[in-house]
């Protein structure tokens, strides 16, 4: 007969049901399991984690298994792990409160207790324990991992596998509220990859020294497997502030990067497709990410960090929609800069956070960041033109058409030179070229002959270049006296070529 052990658990079925009602979202539960999987990595080895998704016989459910190839657990460790508020056995900051496993099993199963764990700390049989939770539970020894059909764990011989049968209503919370209709696994996987790529970007990025990531996370749907890419904050015109704060008697270096949401990066952020949960240029997603070591522990932080003069938290407002940033703190011991017990955010009652956020009061979030950075760009470009041609008249004051539409920059010089510029912080779009044409035609109608029309952008593609060439052979309007004007001369240039990178 197979060996069995009885273990005591400090949580009643009723309490476990209560844990399921904390409003945790599906990805928050999965991240708790991934945190444990990453923390279990063997020293000197790259962590491997697989999140497997498979349909259930009942279409109102979905099967999820999180596996790792780390240290695994022997019976005492497993017994400890199942206690609510278990003492962490690792030194890893990812093990923080001792609630993660219970919270994840409760929230993902919807309180039903439809879960099971296989784990072993050395080759040989696994310990297997299945839900629901009870004060006394049975741990069985088994040589085989028995999972619902279709769950592909990606690599053989895992150390720990945690399987939960998840109600579809919970799985759908991977998607943004108001957008929670879809339930096909390939779509849900894209949402999950976005969450994992943001939360674990620090583990998935290449280490500057070893040129290796410190973890690999695969998400499988049957035979199809995708590796989670690191998802950075889609930012342009970024600025870096190096700060120091005193925490627990120690001076801790802090990096704060802030800038403008880069919409062209945003569109290709998740394996070539656009991000759909984070960085949406919207009130719920505006603000900064907070990263502790390699783990992003909070996103879209605004009022948590900055306050108004009367001390109340800064309100979300559309004028902050394109404000993004990342606050990067080093790996700190447990207890410093705490997160909430269910790790759904930072613990704002921990006074350490006041110390950190105090340092950010000198850098309040930029309102209308996109317009602001375009203005900065314009000023910088005018300075460069003026330095190169001190005799020229460089201005942003010229307007055309009865609407008084302003030309971004006009550079007037000797020999009839009248170059006009359209500047954009992002990549070139077709309408930018037409805006230049509007300036050009407007000037001609006022009797001013432009010499060149230059579109200055972060980058441009071949199609835009071809479009500019075609536009150059279009007919131009006549001057006010009825004589024909000169042909168009539209050109493209990048910030980099013009040494305009900010
Ligand atoms: N996949 C795993 N591999 C090895 N040990 C694990 C794993 N998952 C959980 N544990 C153990 O269970 C303990 C409790 O986990 P958890 O409830 O998430 O709390 P915390 O992570 O805050 O310590 C961990 O500290 C760890 O010792
Ligand atoms: Mg944990």
Q: pLDDT tens across 425-439, in order? A: 888 999 999 999 999
pLDDT reported for residue 183:
77
Phi–psi pair at 385, nearest 5 degrees: -60, -45
Best mutation site among 95, 108, 344 for ligand 1, i.e. most ligand atoms within 8 A of its Cβ?
95
The tens digit of pLDDT for each residue in 312-351 reads: 999 999 999 999 999 999 999 888 898 888 888 899 999 9
**Ligand 2 mean position, distance from CA 234 (Å):** 29
pLDDT band at 91 (very low <50, low <70, confident <90, very high): confident
Cβ neighbours of residue 411 closer than 8 Å, sequence gap 6 or more: 385, 389, 392, 393, 394, 417, 418, 419, 420, 421
β-pair type (160-167, 115-119): antiparallel
Q: Is 194 in the pocket of ligand 1 (CB under 6 A)?
A: no
Please tell me the residue having the least CA distance from ligand 1 atom 12: 81
Mean pLDDT over the full length of the chain: 94
What are 459-498's pLDDT values in tens digits? 899 999 999 999 999 999 999 999 999 999 999 999 888 8
Tell me if 103 CB under 6 Å of ligand 1: no
**CATH for 370-494, among 3.40.1350.10, 3.40.50.1100, 3.40.50.150, 3.10.450.50?**
3.40.1350.10
Q: Ligand 2 mean position to 199 CA, how many Å?
A: 14
DSSP letter for 168, please: H
Atom of ligand 1 nearest to the CA of 32: 18
Query: Among 412, 378, 415, which residue's Cα sits nearest to residue 498?
Result: 378
Ligand 1 center from residue 473 Cα (angstroms): 68
11, 86, 106, best to mutate for ligand 1 pocket (most atoms within 8 Å of CB): 86
Ligand closest to the CA atom of residue 101 = 1
Q: Whose CA is nearest to atom 25 of ligand 1?
A: 88
Ligand in closest contact with the CA of 96: 1
CA of 195 to the centre of ligand 2 (A): 17
Does the CB atom of residue 11 touch ligand 1 within 6 A? no
Domain 235-367 has CATH 3.30.230: yes
Residue 373 predicted with pLDDT over 70? yes
Cα of 354 from ligand 1 centre, angstroms? 29
- Does ligand 1 come within 6 angstroms of the Cβ of 40? yes
Find the mean pLDDT for residues 75-97. Answer: 91
DSSP state of 86: P
Question: Ligand 1: does its nearest atom lie under 6 Å from the Cβ of 222?
Answer: no
Ligand 1 atom at minimal distance to the Cα of residue 71: 4
Residue 501 has pLDDT above 70, yes or no: no
Tell me the angle at which helices 100-109 and 26-39 cross, rounded to the nearest 10 degrees.
140
Residue 112 CB-half CA count within 13 A: 12
Q: Euclidean distance between the first and final Cα of the chain, in Å? A: 70
Taking 80 as the threshold, does the pLDDT of residue 96 lie above it? yes
In this structure, which residue's CA is closest to atom 21 in ligand 1?
A: 95
Beta-carbon contacts of residue 79 (< 8 Å; ≥ 6 apart): 7, 8, 139
Q: What is the spatial distance between Cα 360 and Cα 376, in angstroms, rounded to a whole number?
A: 22
Same fold yes or no, 4-227 and 370-494: no
pLDDT tens across 114-134, in order? Answer: 999 999 999 999 999 999 999
100 C-beta closer than 6 A to ligand 1:
yes
Q: Determine the average pLDDT of the residues in 54-74.
A: 97
Check pLDDT > 80 for residue 107: yes
Tell me the two tokens of residue 220: 């499988």
Residue 1 in this model has a pLDDT that exceeds 70: no
Closest CA to 380 of 332, 325, 326, 421: 421
Whether omega for the bond prior to residue 132 falls within 30 degrees of 0, making it cis, is yes
Kindly indicate the confidence band of residue 237, based on its pLDDT and cuts at 50, 70 and 90: confident
Assess whether the C-beta atom of 338 lies below 6 angstroms from ligand 1. no
| Rounded Cα distance, 105 and 33, in Å | 9
Return the higher-pLDDT residue of 273 and 12: 273
Cβ(98) to ligand 1 under 6 A? yes
Q: What is the mean pLDDT of residues 16-24?
A: 90
Atom of ligand 1 nearest to the CA of 104: 18
Q: Which of 30, 39, 119, 127 to mutate to test the pocket of ligand 1 (most atoms within 8 A of CB)?
A: 39
Is residue 37 within 6 Å of ligand 1 at its C-beta?
Answer: yes
Between 196 and 248, residue with greater pLDDT: 196
CA of 77 to the centre of ligand 1 (A): 8
Using pLDDT thresholds of 50, 70 and 90, give the confidence band for residue 12: confident
Q: Report the separation in Å between the CA atom of 116 and the middle of ligand 1, taken as the mean of its atom positions.
A: 15
Percent of the chain with pLDDT over 70: 99
Distance in Å, CA 33 to ligand 2 centroid: 7
Ligand 1 lined by 95 (C-beta under 6 Å): yes
Which SS3 state, helix, strand or coil, does residue 49 take? strand
Nearest partner of 287 among 276, 275, 298, 273, judged by Cα? 298
The confidence score (pLDDT) of residue 63 equals 98
On whether the CB atoms of residues 280 and 177 are closer than 8 A, the answer is no
Whole-number pLDDT of residue 383: 95
Range 187-211 average pLDDT: 95
What's the pLDDT score for residue 168? 95
Query: Are 334 and 88 in contact, with CB atoms under 8 Å apart?
Result: yes
pLDDT of residue 79: 96
* 81 CB near ligand 1 (under 6 Å): yes
Are 157 and 190 in contact, with CB atoms under 8 Å apart? no
Q: For ligand 1, is residue 70 a contact (CB within 6 Å)?
A: yes
Residues with Cβ within 8 Å of residue 290, at least 6 apart in sequence: 296, 297, 298, 299, 301, 326, 327, 329, 346
CATH number belonging to domain 4-227: 3.30.565.10
CB of 334 within 6 A of ligand 1: the answer is no
Residues 277, 279, 280, 284: is their CA dihedral positive or negative?
positive
Strands (E), 293-331: 295-301, 323-329
Rounded Cα–Cα distance for residues 71 and 53 (Å): 23
Residue appearing with tokens 């956070």: 353
Taking the domains of the chain in order of start, what are their residue ranges? 4-227, 235-367, 370-494
Does the pLDDT value for residue 301 go beyond 80?
yes
> How high is the pLDDT of residue 110?
93
Residue with the two structure tokens 């509007």: 438
Q: What does the pLDDT read at residue 13? A: 87
Report DSSP state, residue 375. Answer: H
Write the Ramachandran bin of 441: left for phi over 0, alpha for psi from -120 to 50, otherwise beta.
alpha
């Amino acid at each position: 007969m197979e060996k069995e052990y009885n273990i005591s658990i400090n949580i009643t079925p009723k309490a476990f049901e209560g844990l399921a009602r904390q409003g945790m979202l599906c990805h928050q539960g999965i991240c708790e399991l991934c945190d444990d999987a990453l923390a279990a990595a063997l020293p000197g080895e790259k962590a491997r984690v697989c999140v497997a998704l498979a349909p259930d016989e009942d279409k109102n459910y979905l099967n999820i298994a999180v596996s790792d190839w780390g240290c695994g657990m022997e019976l005492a460790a497993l017994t400890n792990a199942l206690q609510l508020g278990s003492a962490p056995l690792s030194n890893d900051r990812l093990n923080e409160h001792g609630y993660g496993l219970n919270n994840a099993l409760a929230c993902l199963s919807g309180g039903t207790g439809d879960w099971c764990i296989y784990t072993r700390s050395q080759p040989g049989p696994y310990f297997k324990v299945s839900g629901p939770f009870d004060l006394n539970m049975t741990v069985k020894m088994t040589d085989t991992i028995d999972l619902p059909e279709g769950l592909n764990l990606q690599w053989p011989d895992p150390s720990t596998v945690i399987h939960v049968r998840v109600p579809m209503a919970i799985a759908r919370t991977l998607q943004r509220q108001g957008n929670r209709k879809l339930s096909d696994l390939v779509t849900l996987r894209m949402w999950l990859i976005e969450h994992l790529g943001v939360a674990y970007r620090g583990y998935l990025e290449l280490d500057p020294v070893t040129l290796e990531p410190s973890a690999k996370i695969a998400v499988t749907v049957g035979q199809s497997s995708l590796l989670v890419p690191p998802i950075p904050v889609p930012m342009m015109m970024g600025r870096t502030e190096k700060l120091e704060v005193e925490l627990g008697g120690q001076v801790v270096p802090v990096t704060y990067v802030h800038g403008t949401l880069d919409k062209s990066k945003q569109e290709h952020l998740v394996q070539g497709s656009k991000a759909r949960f984070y960085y949406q240029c919207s009130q719920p997603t505006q603000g900064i990410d907070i990263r502790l070591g390699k783990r992003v522990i909070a996103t879209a932080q605004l009022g948590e960090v900055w306050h108004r003069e009367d001390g109340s938290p800064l309100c979300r407002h559309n004028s902050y929609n394109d404000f993004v940033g990342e606050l990067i703190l080093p790996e700190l011991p447990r207890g410093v800069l705490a997160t909430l017990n269910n790790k759904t955010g930072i613990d704002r009652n921990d006074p350490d956070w006041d110390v950190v956020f105090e340092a950010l009061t000198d850098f309040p979030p930029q309102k209308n960041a996109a317009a602001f950075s375009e203005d900065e760009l314009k000023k910088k470009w005018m300075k460069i033109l003026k330095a190169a041609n001190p005799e020229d008249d460089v201005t942003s004051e010229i307007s055309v058409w009865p609407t008084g539409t302003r030309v971004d920059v006009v550079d007037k010089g000797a020999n009839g030179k009248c170059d006009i510029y359209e500047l954009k912080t992002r990549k070139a779009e077709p309408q930018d070229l037409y805006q230049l044409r509007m300036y050009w035609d407007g000037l001609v109608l006022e009797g001013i002959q432009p010499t060149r029309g230059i579109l200055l952008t972060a980058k441009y593609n071949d199609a835009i270049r071809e479009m500019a060439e075609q536009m150059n052979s279009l007919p131009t309007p006549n001057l006010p006296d009825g004589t024909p004007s000169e042909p168009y001369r539209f050109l493209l240039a990048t910030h980099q070529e013009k040494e305009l990178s900010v």
